[in-house]
């Protein structure tokens, strides 16, 4: 991690002065005796995941890859974002357009992450002539969005393959002993994986929640886990300047104290777009409570330099950037020599590679934003592969736990998520929410006195 871009907005002595507090909260996180400490099983999970569990996932993934043209992952929030981040980060940009001879995996689709009926209808159209497997991911099985999607897709499978055939094509990832999904799994004989009790959804990408879909996509999950495991020791070091996760957590909280209340995660690689979405949930849901928290945002450069670039350069100075910089972009494409006399002003770039051009754009942008009074942190990654993505996941998760405790919140709960659910249940007439429905109706009558024009 290169944190030189936080100066002069922070002073070196300010970072050094935070070391003792950072050490204290790191110990709290590691010992599991802080708020939400019962959900810190992810801290060392990559080095303790049973070998048999990995083999089970890989074996079932091979079956799906051999028999399916389409694999649908049903889940919302942490039950799908991590898997999608890794799959899109390491897969071909246009998988549906590859010729069958080049396509090594079924197409992976996602459902249950929204309440759009047209999305589901269009997904069913796509699945109509394809061999389909489904992975339903839910701790309880009663979350509205994935639960409704599962009803639709389960019916689709039963109509096409019969009850027994559908049961063979449905794999669940759920609680080991309780919940609606566990019950139907046992009754219907679905094959299943278990969500560890001590790992919450947004920290679950390196459990079967994320690993099984990632394996179906043809990605080496053992390499992903190895990368994550390699970061456990560095992110456990007690010294602030030896522990990259602790240094990142401390620096972002010190910037918050200076009024930098929005963190913008920057990538120059379109394949990391969903990694940014995963990161936003991780930090937004972990820190945004009790009136506190840094607002997590993301941009994709250079695309967003032509839309958000002006605001970042000269807007309100309440933002800082964390840039994911890939040192070795895996393209050898060169700017062709044009002999036709095309006057596009780009002749000076002839023969240069796209990674070289992109790297100069990165350097120029970083300098411009820093000169525009934006603090800039840079996370250097050698390449974008399974090992490195595993490292990045473990790094960001550990830093999130440290940062939440530095902020003074429980980074492992999400009480605010229930607010919209309570209102939605009442408005939909769910049994047991009659009193809430009456409250909402009374509130609606009161507000209707003020007419909107």
Whole-number pLDDT of residue 436: 75
pLDDT in tens, 390-432: 999 999 999 999 999 999 999 999 887 777 888 888 777 788 7
Distance CA 69, CA 20 (A): 54
Distance CA 106, CA 92 (A): 12
Whole-number pLDDT of residue 268: 94
Mean pLDDT over all residues of the chain?
92
By annotation, the residues acting in catalysis are 285, 306, 421
Distance CA 115, CA 125 (A): 17
Distance CA 325, CA 308 (A): 19
Distance CA 436, CA 416 (A): 17
Whole-number pLDDT of residue 190: 96
In the chain, the largest separation of any two C-alpha atoms, in whole Å, equals 76
Structure-token pair, residue 403: 């940062």
Whole-number pLDDT of residue 101: 63
Whole-number pLDDT of residue 7: 96
Sketch out the chain's domains with CATH numbers: 2-35+232-338+345-407 (3.40.50.10490), 45-226 (3.40.50.10490)
Which pTM value belongs to this model? 0.93
Residues of the chain short of pLDDT 70, as ranges, are 101-104, 445-453
pLDDT in tens, 212-261: 999 999 999 999 999 999 999 999 999 999 999 999 999 999 999 999 99
Name beta bridge partners: 193.
173
Structure-token pair, residue 389: 């993505």
Structure-token pair, residue 235: 């992110």
Q: What is the DSSP letter of 303?
A: G
């Amino acid at each position: 991690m290169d944190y030189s871009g936080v100066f002069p907005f922070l002073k070196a002595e300010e970072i050094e002065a935070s070391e003792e507090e950072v050490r204290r909260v790191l110990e709290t996180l590691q010992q599991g005796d802080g708020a939400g400490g019962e959900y810190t099983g992810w801290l060392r999970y990559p080095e303790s995941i049973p070998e048999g569990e990995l083999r089970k996932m890989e074996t079932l993934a091979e079956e799906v890859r051999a028999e399916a043209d389409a694999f649908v992952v049903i889940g919302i929030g942490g039950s799908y974002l991590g898997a999608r981040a890794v799959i899109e980060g390491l897969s071909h940009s246009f998988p549906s357009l590859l010729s069958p001879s080049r396509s090594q995996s079924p197409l992976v689709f996602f459902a249950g992450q929204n309440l759009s009926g047209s999305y589901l209808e269009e997904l069913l159209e796509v699945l109509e002539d394809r061999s389909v497997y489904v992975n339903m991911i839910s701790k309880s099985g009663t979350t509205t969005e994935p639960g409704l999607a599962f009803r639709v897709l389960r019916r689709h499978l039963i109509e096409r393959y019969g009850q027994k055939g559908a049961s063979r094509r449905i794999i669940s990832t759920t609680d080991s002993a309780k919940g609606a999904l566990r019950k139907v799994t046992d009754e219907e004989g679905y094959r299943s994986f278990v969500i560890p009790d001590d790992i919450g959804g947004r920290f679950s990408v390196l459990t079967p929640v994320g690993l099984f879909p990632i394996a179906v996509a043809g990605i080496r999950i053992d390499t992903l886990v190895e990368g994550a495991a390699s970061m456990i020791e560095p992110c456990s070091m007690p010294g602030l300047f030896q522990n990259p996760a602790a240094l990142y957590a401390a620096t972002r909280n010190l910037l918050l104290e200076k009024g930098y209340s929005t963190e913008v995660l920057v990538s120059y690689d379109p394949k990391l777009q969903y990694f940014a979405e995963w990161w936003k949930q991780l930090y937004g849901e972990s820190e945004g409570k009790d009136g506190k928290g840094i607002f997590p945002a993301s941009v994709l450069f250079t695309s967003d330099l032509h839309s958000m670039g002006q605001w970042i350069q000269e807007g309100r100075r309440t933002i800082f950037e964390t840039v994911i910089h890939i040192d070795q972009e895996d393209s050898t494409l060169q700017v062709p020599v044009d002999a036709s006399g095309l006057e596009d002003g780009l002749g000076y770039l002839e023969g240069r590679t796209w990674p070289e051009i992109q790297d100069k754009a990165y350097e120029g942008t970083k300098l411009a934003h820093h000169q525009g009074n934006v603090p800039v942190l840079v996370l250097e990654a050698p390449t974008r592969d399974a090992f490195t993505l595993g490292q990045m996941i473990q790094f960001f998760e550990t830093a999130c736990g440290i940062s939440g405790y530095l902020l003074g919140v429980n980074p492992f709960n999400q009480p605010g998520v229930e607010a919209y659910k309570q209102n939605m249940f009442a408005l939909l007439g769910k049994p047991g929410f009659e009193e809430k429905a009456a409250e909402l109706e009374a509130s609606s009558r009161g507000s209707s006195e003020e007419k909107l024009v």
